[in-house]
């Protein structure tokens, strides 16, 4: 379903830059060389079949032709679709409430002490490196199939997504008010509540909405590994070659996800 719009457009580069010196140019040629070499190695090791790019693409589009939706499937769609949204929402809320304290622990300007800061950073880095579906597959095996592993998976996933964005924001907060509060005898909690939180609240809320958007899209596919939601239905329909059913599911899901996305993007634009 639609990719959330990236956060913030990169700033344009300074205009009319003079031609870079020789060393810089050599370095960029070196970079190109490395990329080319990587591509060749990758091409060989994966036996990538460039020709099938065209035959595959042709199949791909003919496949779409068979997706003409069968709207009678609507009857069985709505329940798992609601479950999908529930998984995304509950996962986002739980993930956020775990992520927030961790973010303040992991940011240099709000950390308790160097050791817990390091621990928090390591934990967050590890969480961040594991993709959503992997979490889901893990918890399906560990707990039981259904919505529960989906929620737990998205909770962990959310912590990973929010952590990096969040602690970068917290660390870039204006240090002036923090110092003022420290000078007034405020402890860590009071400094966070009065000096840091007001500075980062809008950005942080926008990040939470952003991870909700990501989670909604993730929750659609969690069912592929048995973690509840519309994905489970989609997967069985696909396995039964019921392409018109698949068409209906994809179409409805697409519309719902787009709608959630649109609302969230609009809310984010209001925030900053």
Q: Which residues contact 12 (CB under 8 A, 6 or more apart)?
A: none
Neighbours of 166 (CB within 10 A): 26
Q: Which of the stretches 68-76, 80-88, 101-109, 111-119 binds other proteins when contact is defined by CB under 8 A?
A: 80-88
22 near other proteins, judged by CB under 8 A? no
Smallest separation (angstroms) from other proteins to the CB of 72: 22
Indicate the residue among 77 and 137 with the shorter CB distance to other proteins. 137
Smallest separation (angstroms) from other proteins to the CB of 136: 9
Residues 216-255, interacting with other proteins (CB under 8 A): 217-218, 220-221, 224-225, 228, 234, 238, 250, 254
Smallest separation (angstroms) from other proteins to the CB of 18: 10
Residues 27-66, interacting with other proteins (CB under 8 A): 31, 35, 38-39, 41-43, 45-49, 52-53, 55-57, 59-60, 63
Smallest separation (angstroms) from other proteins to the CB of 142: 5
* Cα 250 to chain centroid, rounded: 20
CA separation for the pair 196, 183 (Å, rounded): 15
DSSP per residue over 253-270, as a string?
Answer: HHHHHHHHHHHHHHHHHH
Position of tokens 């900053």? Answer: 272
Indicate the residue among 70 and 86 with the shorter CB distance to other proteins. 86
Residues 171-210, interacting with other proteins (CB under 8 A): 174, 176-177, 179-187, 189-190, 192-195, 197-199, 201-202
83 near other proteins, judged by CB under 8 A? yes
Smallest separation (angstroms) from other proteins to the CB of 218: 8
Smallest separation (angstroms) from other proteins to the CB of 103: 15
Smallest separation (angstroms) from other proteins to the CB of 74: 19
Instruction: Say which DSSP state 193 is in.
Output: I
Where does 130-240 have alpha helices with state H? Answer: 132-142, 147-171, 175-183, 188-191, 197-222, 230-239
CA separation for the pair 245, 251 (Å, rounded): 10
CA separation for the pair 144, 30 (Å, rounded): 50
2 near other proteins, judged by CB under 8 A? yes
Smallest separation (angstroms) from other proteins to the CB of 132: 8
Task: Let me know: does 212 contact 88? Beta carbons within 8 Å.
Answer: yes
1, 81, 161, 227: which one binds other proteins (CB under 8 A): 1
Nearest to 130 by CA among 157, 158, 151: 157
Site string for other proteins, 104-143 (x = CB under 8 A): ---------------------xx-xxxxxxx--xx--xxx
**What number of chain residues touch other proteins (CB under 8 A)?**
94
Residues 152-171, interacting with other proteins (CB under 8 A): none
H/E/C letters for each residue in 96-162? HHHHHHHHHHHCCCCCCCHHHHHHHHHHHHHHHHCCHHHHHHHHHHHCCCCHHHHHHHHHHHHHHHH
């Amino acid at each position: 379903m639609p990719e959330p719009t990236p956060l913030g457009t990169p700033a344009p580069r300074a205009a009319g830059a003079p031609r870079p010196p020789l060393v810089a140019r050599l370095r960029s040629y070196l970079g190109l060389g490395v990329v080319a070499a990587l591509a060749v190695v990758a091409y060989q090791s994966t036996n990538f079949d460039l020709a099938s790019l065209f035959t595959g693409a042709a199949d791909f589009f003919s496949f779409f032709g068979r997706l003409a939706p069968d709207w009678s499937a609507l009857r069985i769609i709505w329940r798992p679709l609601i479950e999908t949204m529930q998984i995304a929402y509950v996962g986002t809320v739980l993930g956020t409430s775990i992520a927030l304290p961790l973010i303040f622990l992991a940011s240099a300007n709000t950390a308790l002490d160097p050791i817990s800061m390091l621990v928090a950073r390591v934990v967050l880095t590890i969480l961040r490196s594991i993709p959503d579906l992997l979490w889901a597959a893990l918890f399906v095996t560990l707990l039981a199939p259904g919505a529960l592993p989906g929620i737990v998976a998205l909770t962990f996933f959310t912590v990973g997504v929010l952590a990096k964005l969040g602690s970068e924001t917290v660390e870039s907060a204006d240090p002036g008010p923090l110092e003022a509060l420290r000078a007034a005898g405020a402890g860590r909690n009071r400094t966070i509540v009065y000096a840091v939180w007001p500075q980062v609240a809008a950005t942080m809320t926008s990040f939470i909405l952003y991870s909700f958007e990501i989670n909604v899209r993730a929750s659609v596919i969690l069912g592929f590994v048995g973690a509840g939601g519309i994905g489970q239905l989609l997967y069985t329909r696909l396995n039964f070659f019921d392409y018109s059913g698949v068409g209906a599911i994809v179409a409805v899901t697409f519309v719902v996800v787009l709608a959630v996305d649109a609302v969230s993007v609009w809310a984010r634009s209001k925030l900053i």
